[in-house]
Structure 1
Amino acid sequence: MSIDKEAFYEDVYSIVRQIPFGRVCTYGWIARLIGQPQCARRVGKALAEVPPVLQLPCHRVVDSGGRIVPHWPEQRELLKREGVRFKKNGCVDLRNCLWEVEIS
């Protein structure tokens, strides 16, 4: 099954726009929300290619373990400014900060 890249990216961007201040979402959850549960890595690729003009809060997306992007040190600082909590191991405290939106 082929997925239209532009449509996929726009679906991802639509979800990312909705992540509230002080909350995070995971790549996998975004993939499930757009009906493509097998495409978590593709969500990451879409976010890596976001045009800056869109000003999406991509810093609010982490992996399923709460890990942030390894080569993006600003992500941690942006999240901390929003009050996102981190555990001692450096991962986001998903218990307290995960955006729990229902799949419709």
Structure 2
Amino acid sequence: MAGTDDSREAERRILAQVRSIPAGQVAGYGEVARRAGLPGRARWVARLLSANTHADLPWHRVLRSDGRVAFPEGSAGYREQCRRLRAEGVRVEQGRVRGQRAAPSVDEQVWGPA
């Protein structure tokens, strides 16, 4: 799908959702996909973020659905993501974010959980 107008629009929506995650909060790959209108496309989100060339993208706020950092433990990416999250006040223990849930969507903030 990469390269088509539809896929570029979907990628734009994914990146917009990643940028909308507030500092100090996190969301899972699947949650980002759902908010971008692409339910079930968590792997697409992960692929897009792994190829990220946008310096301003807060990629570090996106985690696996179980709250873990997706990079292999001890890798440069793992250490960088943990460092960035901790710098925002996120509690990270052994590569897992503790004490918070995914950032609520705008709909959830206005209307409450589904």
| TM-score computed with the length of structure 2 as normaliser | 0.76
Q: Which runs of 5 or more structure 2 residues have no equivalent in the other structure?
A: 109-114
Matching residue of 2:70 = 69
Tell me the C-alpha RMSD between the 2 structures: 2.4
**Rg bigger for which structure?**
2
Q: Is the 8 A contact 1:33 1:103 kept in 2?
A: no
Give 1:65 shift: 0.6
Which consecutive residues of structure 1, in runs of 5 or more, have no partner in the other structure?
A: none
What percentage of residue pairs aligned between the two structures are identical?
A: 34
Give, in angstroms, the shift of residue 28 of structure 1: 0.4
Normalized per residue, which structure has more strand? 2
Report what 2:57 is aligned to.
Answer: 56
**Map of 2:97 onto structure 1:** 92
> Aligned residue pairs: how many?
101
List 4+ stretches of structure 1 deviating above 3 A. Answer: none
| Distance in 1, Cα, partners of 2:42 & 2:54 | 21
Please report how far the alpha carbon of residue 38 of structure 1 lies from its aligned counterpart in structure 2 after TM superposition.
1.2
Q: Aligned AA for 1:9? A: E
Structure with larger RCO (C-alpha < 8 A, sep 6+): 1
Alignment of 1:1-104 (within 5 A): 4-53=6-55, 55-70=56-71, 71=75, 72=77, 73-87=79-93, 89-93=94-98, 95-103=99-107
CA contact (8 A) 1:22 1:97 kept: no
